[in-house]
Structure 1
């Protein structure tokens, strides 16, 4: 007797999948447009062949996008806006020089909206920090944009020559946004304070007429005030560095400030953040954390440069950007540690007719600045 076997075929039903459009939710229309624009321009650049070398035209190039929507995502995005990206190939090359992957740049700027931060006091500009604290967005005036264009042609070869070892701002992108008829210029930079370690004290140091520069009473009332030259002197503050680190820091600042003087730029300052290890450890005891403070400090104590988790590589570009030292925290105090985060800021002020009336020339400014910083460094 033969047996016949029957098989049943079960049909599978597939639901059609539709590509989801990425939403860029933000509290400000400007930020929504910025996130959309960065996403668009970075993705467009992915389809452009990387040139062997940059040409003069690349420093004048730009891309423009105009969007006109009718009732489309009106609760998220403005109906009409324009985006302009300046020198896209130049800034992509700079991101590469600073060891920042395009995917990381895109994620930092678009995964979540940037948050407004009070970075430096007395500035007429706005600052925003990315959700991961890696990048800073700074609004620019039209004069600063013009100065940026002039500077970029010299800034890029300088960064190439220095192999990215600089305390100058790390410029990563520049955009013009037009939202509801309002024009805003934004430059993207790497955040000086991009570590998980908290900053306990912050200074903005120029070295020119230090006795006249103090934090205002309003500034002192903030959670993390930005103190100035005279406050630094009155505090008896010092940078405790061994000879090797001091030499590297001074060498980098000498090269950077010489570059700024050649470009006729003045009024810059050293933004200095100090992490107090003893205070941090005490706070850590009072407030347990999932990650030990020692791990964080070991990360920061390594060779100076960018954090390893940002670009996926072991980047060691900026000599002096992140320095750890063993020294008394105060005269006669117990031995402790400080970690310094620093970088040059506000480097786009051109020395011209308006500035000649009220200040010294770029070479004199540079000399006073370097003298002040050199006096602030102590070898334990």
Structure 2
């Protein structure tokens, strides 16, 4: 059984369920996993009425215990409009809608902007693949990540949600933990797909040239040859060490980063969570500037005027309107959007921007993990730095390793 509150009452607000617009938003965005034929103009028209209705609804200031068990559903049968793009029968479920709306507020995310990011244009495919074959998409403006998850992940998220919410409230959203913004289930022809939406760790405008997934473990922690063949491989701990890589940030940023990291890993240890990683993305400012110059040199001259009606950038895409009132220099970023970004210090060998956040926190230290720990200990020895260890040991080793890579 996925959830122990499957029959919980759906909270209703006016004539629509809580965050019903978000339902439709994610549904249409995520449907690109099945088809890429949905018209963005259709989405804009479809959601405008929903947003207007919900905007008149007063959202309660205080969350109640039932809000952490609540859900709302949409069920569509014999759906005929635009049926070549949409299935005839589907169901869509949003978990704990008011809780996640409150979390978005704590993270400084406006609901209107959130909906626009997920619905204005098709999500972008990612070549990345996570645990258990998880698939990733980013919103068209690259601000949010849509990831498929398992029913076990959904259950674990429900187990930690109340404490996670409390932690986010107490730290005022100032954390390296994933910013969970919504959990959903889409059912098409009896097949259930679960998904979670988070803020993107990386920037919407500064490209990442190298990335690492760091656990503080050295056993089997190298990128495979298959991984290295990708356009942007995910390297691991031993690769980081062998590259002689360092995160060069100033003393004040280092102090703030480590304080957040310490609180975050202590929280994860309290919840008996382990096997998480620090995702590190590195933007090379000079390399990006050089690529921009080369790109401009290779651009063909335009003949005549363009009406912007082609398939490329939509009229209201980030390249046209994002931060239009705040021009940014190379290597600069808006900290309200790129919340995980830190500039390199003045003595760094290269001018860089680092994006660093904790990911994959839903692994509970259960009997299966204990068995894996025992097996790896037998294979590699008691002193080996294997990744499967108890949460307290994992958090300490993780924190200690991260302190060594900062300079």
TM-score range, shorter chain: 0.7 to 0.9
The equivalent position to 2:405 in structure 1, one of 369, 376, 379, is: 376
Q: Once the 2 structures are TM-superposed, how far is the Cα of residue 112 of structure 1 from its aligned partner?
A: 1.2
**Conserved in 2, the CA contact under 8 Å of 1:121 and 1:219?**
no
Matches within 5 A, 1:1-380: 27-29=32-34, 39=47, 45-119=54-128, 124-208=133-217, 210-288=218-296, 295-297=328-330, 299-300=332-333, 304-307=335-338, 318=339, 321-326=340-345, 335-357=349-371, 358=373, 359-378=388-407
After superposition, give the CA deviation of every residue in 1:153-211 in whole Å (9 maximum; x if it has no partner): 10111100001100100011111100121100111100011330110000000002x24
Gaps in structure 2 of 5+ consecutive residues: 1-24, 300-318, 320-326, 374-387
After superposition, give the CA deviation of every residue in 1:130-158 in whole Å (9 maximum; x if it has no partner): 10001000111011000000111101111
The 1:125–1:247 alpha-carbon spacing in structure 2 relative to 1, beyond 3 Å, is same
After superposition, give the CA deviation of every residue in 1:10-58 in whole Å (9 maximum; x if it has no partner): xxxxxxxxxxxx99586544786xx97x959867654542112101000
Distance 2:401 2:53 in 1: 46
The 1:268–1:325 alpha-carbon spacing in structure 2 relative to 1, beyond 3 Å, is same
**Conserved in 1, the CA contact under 8 Å of 2:79 and 2:87?**
no
Gaps in structure 1 of 5+ consecutive residues: 1-21, 308-317, 330-334
Distance 1:70 1:61 in 2: 26
Partner of 1:14: none
The 1:155–1:288 alpha-carbon spacing in structure 2 relative to 1, beyond 3 Å, is same
Distance 1:262 1:187 in 2: 23
After superposition, give the CA deviation of every residue in 1:81-101 in whole Å (9 maximum; x if it has no partner): 001110011011111111111
Distance 1:53 1:137 in 2: 28
**Conserved in 2, the CA contact under 8 Å of 1:121 and 1:226?**
no
Q: Once the 2 structures are TM-superposed, how far is the Cα of residue 113 of structure 1 from its aligned partner?
A: 1.9
**Conserved in 1, the CA contact under 8 Å of 2:92 and 2:187?**
yes
TM-score normalised to structure 1 length: 0.81
Distance 2:275 2:243 in 1: 23
* Residues paired across the two proteins, number: 333
After superposition, give the CA deviation of every residue in 1:263-320 in whole Å (9 maximum; x if it has no partner): 11000000000001121122223222999xx9343532x6x4424xxxxxxxxxx5xx
After superposition, give the CA deviation of every residue in 1:98-148 in whole Å (9 maximum; x if it has no partner): 111111111111111212213466652111101000100011101100000
Distance 2:232 2:395 in 1: 28
Distance 1:97 1:273 in 2: 24
**Conserved in 2, the CA contact under 8 Å of 1:97 and 1:164?**
yes
Distance 2:93 2:195 in 1: 10
Distance 2:52 2:394 in 1: 42
> SS state of the match for residue 74, structure 2?
strand
> SS state of the match for residue 349, structure 1?
coil
The 1:73–1:101 alpha-carbon spacing in structure 2 relative to 1, beyond 3 Å, is same
Query: Please, what is the CA RMSD of the aligned residues?
Result: 2.7
The 1:272–1:120 alpha-carbon spacing in structure 2 relative to 1, beyond 3 Å, is farther
**Conserved in 2, the CA contact under 8 Å of 1:207 and 1:373?**
yes
